[in-house]
Amino acid sequence: MAEKLSQSQIDALLAAARSGEMDINAPTEEKKEKYRKYDFYSPRKFTKDRIKMLNSVFENYTRIINTRINGLLRTPCEVTVEPIEEQRYYEFSNALTEGDVLTVAYAEIKNKVEETPVLVHITMPVMLSMIDRWMGGEGETDKGLPNDYSFTDIELLLYENIVKDFVGVLGRAWENYTTLNFDFGRVEVNPTLVQLLGLEETVVIVPISLKFPNCVGNMSICLPGMVLTNIFTEIARENPTRRNSSESKADDIFDSLRNSSLEIVAEMASTQLSLHDIFHLSVGDVIDLNQPKDSEIFLKIGGQRWFDGKMGVHDRSMAVKIGETYYQPEKRSS
């Protein structure tokens, strides 16, 4: 229920408006939401760490196919990964049209082929440009290409050969995490009439940008949630051995470094003298450092400042009491 104003509050507002203290035409500042809405209908299945892992995998994949494209088509191409998103399959399928071609591939995990397919979609203009370059053309796109254009039989055969190469090297992108193979299945000429996945099934869409000198397009890889779950499970099963070995190596390294000696230099201030002044220095001379006697002392390790402190005495010996630790590299190098 809206808050009701008393008569005295209404009179005060009217008086402020008449006197000009309050601009009644000024737009009211809307409060910005400081929280992110959570969709309980379609909760996220994969964490940010998993998405970061996928981003690393497909950055490696873009480098691989960039080399393949340069060798196959004899032309430079810029291949980059766009932000990876978790969606429902219907969001991916609704973006397809009748003229699109969808590639069906299957992941093989530990000699077991997944039943749920991995889908690859390449936009028509960039695929036609690649086919034209492969056949010896310049890769120019036809601006008069109709919206309902369909690939010819010869173009489909060339399409399959190019995509087979892309799918065949997809497993190499996962080598840093696990051993995977991806096998080419078939191409679907009209994917809108075929239900390859459940509409509500969780998928991860990996958009990849392809930029040729005279053509720009996209390739989208649709990874089903069930396939990714099995892949991540296999990675988690293999990781304990790698993690234990890396931890044991880290312990050995720290054991060897623990007794190492490092030189620590306490610096009160620095100044510059000419060679003439240094030559005429003698016992009892005073060098002005432009610093008060109780100023901070800087402790340098490896030539960089790591701590500051105060000069003092401990057990009849000169000492420095540590104050601040410089965690930021820019402060250590100052």
- Using the structure block, give the residue that is written with the tokens 């997944």: 114
| Whether residues 219 and 324 fall in one domain | no
**Integer Cα distance of 195 and 203 in angstroms:** 14
Q: What is the pLDDT of residue 294?
A: 74
| Whether residues 171 and 306 fall in one domain | no
Dihedral sign computed on CA atoms, order 255, 261, 266, 267 = negative
Q: What is the pLDDT of residue 121?
A: 92
| Whether residues 85 and 156 fall in one domain | yes
| Whether residues 125 and 176 fall in one domain | yes
The CATH number assigned to the domain holding 290 equals: 2.30.330.10
Q: Is the separation of the CB atoms in 320 and 267 below 8 Å?
A: no
**Integer Cα distance of 136 and 4 in angstroms:** 77
Q: What is the pLDDT of residues 228-271, one digit of tens each?
A: 999 988 888 877 655 444 445 666 777 777 777 778 888 877 78
Residue 187 domain flag: yes
Instruction: State the CB neighbour count (10 A cutoff) for residue 97.
Output: 11
Q: Is residue 52 scored above 70 in pLDDT? A: yes
**Integer Cα distance of 148 and 36 in angstroms:** 40
| Whether residues 64 and 204 fall in one domain | yes
- Using the structure block, give the residue that is written with the tokens 């390859």: 196
Report strand pairing: 180-188 vs 202-212.
unpaired
Q: Where are the beta strands (DSSP E) in 69-115?
A: 78-81, 85-88, 102-109, 112-113
Cα 280-283-287 angle, rounded to 5 deg: 70
**Amino acid identity at 32:** K
Q: Which domain holds residue 137?
A: 48-141+149-239
| Alpha helices (runs of H) in the chain, residue ranges in sequence order | 7-19, 48-73, 89-93, 124-134, 153-168, 225-258, 275-279, 329-332
**Integer Cα distance of 32 and 30 in angstroms:** 6
Cα 227 to Cα 34, 201, 203: the distances in Å are 35, 11, 9
Q: How far apart are the first and last CA of the chain?
A: 59
Q: What is the pLDDT of residues 130-182, one digit of tens each?
A: 888 888 888 787 777 777 788 888 989 999 999 999 998 998 899 888 888 99
| Whether residues 281 and 232 fall in one domain | no
Number of domains forming the structure of the chain: 2
Q: Round the average pLDDT of the chain to a whole number and report it.
A: 80
Q: What is the pLDDT of residues 86-126, one digit of tens each?
A: 888 888 888 888 788 899 999 998 888 888 999 999 988 88
| Whether residues 62 and 211 fall in one domain | yes
Residue 199 domain flag: yes
282 φ/ψ angles, rounded to the nearest 5 degrees: -145, 170
| Whether residues 275 and 235 fall in one domain | no
Q: Is the separation of the CB atoms in 192 and 95 below 8 Å?
A: no
Q: What is the pLDDT of residue 1?
A: 44
| pTM confidence score | 0.59
| Greater model confidence, 321 or 106 | 106
Residue 14 domain flag: no
Cα 282 to Cα 272, 288, 334: the distances in Å are 17, 15, 32
**Amino acid identity at 283:** V
Give, as one character, the DSSP assignment of residue 193. Answer: G
| Whether residues 192 and 228 fall in one domain | yes
Q: Residue 64's closest CA among 138, 145, 141, 168?
A: 168
Residues in contact with 46: Cβ distance below 8 Å, sequence separation at least 6, in sequence order: 86, 204, 225, 228
| Whether residues 307 and 168 fall in one domain | no
**Integer Cα distance of 227 and 50 in angstroms:** 13
Provide mean pLDDT across the span 286-304.
Answer: 79
| Whether residues 222 and 278 fall in one domain | no
Provide mean pLDDT across the span 306-322.
Answer: 83
| Whether residues 91 and 126 fall in one domain | yes
Q: Residue 179's closest CA among 234, 218, 137?
A: 234
List strands edge to edge, sheet with 297-301: 264-267, 297-301, 304-314, 317-325
